[in-house]
């Protein structure tokens, strides 16, 4: 089946998805809208239902949603997959979740959401042994952060994980996933006109190498059961001593503080 046919099928399916996702947002009671995405990121976002992923990870989540973007597309390729790019392996986005029980989560418990998300993403990109660990990382409290009437707390944190550039680049599962992501990006911003091939790495014989991600996490108690976690990161290359979070952090924080937490 050609990519063009798959793209047409995805266009038809997006309307069913939109109805289901809006229902999810109403069940949670809130959604996120990013108003100030930096120029070096795709100017739109993918919205996805995380309920099943987080429940499988053993987290007490009744309903959950994820909104994210990544490095912009240059010459047909997202900078997310270019190791020479500042946006390599960078995320910008946020989670909205409704807990199954009232609870006061620690920041470390919130980060379990990101661990489950990252490992699920790596599986889609063909990693046979996804790995995300916070062992050896310190959670650093930075400051209060405010979005409209909601007050949260900003932290710096990180993890050790794998990149998503490897031999699974040509798998049909990734082909389908990238076409669907392009469809959702275009749904959030019809001017994008992205294609699935722009959201997966080119030919690579890499074996999903280990790397470190460092970034911001902002946590908001919206209600007793509804929580928001915003995130943005760069990566650390210990060989070259590169730290892209140091370059990206101001723009990431500006994007996070301009995000709207919208009641449904």
Half-sphere exposure of 183 toward its Cβ, with a 13 Å CA cutoff? 22
Task: Tell me what pLDDT residue 238 has.
Answer: 79
Which of 156-160, 174-178, 244-248 comes out lowest in average pLDDT?
A: 174-178
Measured in whole angstroms, the distance separating CA 25 from the mean position of its chain's CA atoms is 17
Task: Tell me the per-residue pLDDT of 108-159, one tens digit each, with 9 for 90 and over.
Answer: 999 999 999 999 999 999 999 999 999 999 999 999 999 989 999 999 999 9
- For tokens 């009437």, the residue is 149
Which residues constitute the domain of residue 44?
3-263
Task: Report d(CA 160, CA 158) in Å as an integer.
Answer: 7
Nearby residues of 78 by Cβ (< 8 Å), 6 or more positions away: 42, 70, 71, 72, 198, 199
What global pTM score does this model have? 0.95
**Whole-angstrom distance, CA of residue 184 vs CA of residue 189:** 9
Q: Report how many domains make up the chain.
A: 1
Which pLDDT band holds residue 202 (cuts at 50, 70, 90)?
confident
**In the chain, which residue ranges form alpha helices assigned H by DSSP?**
3-28, 51-56, 107-124, 172-188, 244-257
How many CB atoms sit inside 10 A of residue 103's CB?
12
């Amino acid at each position: 089946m050609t990519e063009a046919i798959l793209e047409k099928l995805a266009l038809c399916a997006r309307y069913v998805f939109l109805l289901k996702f809006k229902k999810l947002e109403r069940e949670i009671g809130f959604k996120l809208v990013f108003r100030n995405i930096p120029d070096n990121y795709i100017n739109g976002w993918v919205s996805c239902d995380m309920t099943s992923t987080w429940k499988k990870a053993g987290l007490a989540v009744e309903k959950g949603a994820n909104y994210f973007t990544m490095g912009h597309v240059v010459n047909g390729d997202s900078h997310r997959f270019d190791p020479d790019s500042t946006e390599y392996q960078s995320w910008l986005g946020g989670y909205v979740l409704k807990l199954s029980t009232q609870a006061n989560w620690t920041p470390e418990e919130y980060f379990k959401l990101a661990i489950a998300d990252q490992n699920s993403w790596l599986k889609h990109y063909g990693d046979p042994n996804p790995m995300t660990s916070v062992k050896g990382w310190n959670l650093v409290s930075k400051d209060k952060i405010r979005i409209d009437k909601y007050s949260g707390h900003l932290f710096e944190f990180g993890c050790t994980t794998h990149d998503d550039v490897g031999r699974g680049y040509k798998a049909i599962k990734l082909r389908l996933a990238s076409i669907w992501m392009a469809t959702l990006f275009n749904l959030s911003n019809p001017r994008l006109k992205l294609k699935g091939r722009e959201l997966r790495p080119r030919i690579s014989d890499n074996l999903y190498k280990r790397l470190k991600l460092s970034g911001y996490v902002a946590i908001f108690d919206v209600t007793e059961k509804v929580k928001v976690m915003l995130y943005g990161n760069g990566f650390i290359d210990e060989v070259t001593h590169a730290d892209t979070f140091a370059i990206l952090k101001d723009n990431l924080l500006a994007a996070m503080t301009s995000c709207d937490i919208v009641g449904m």
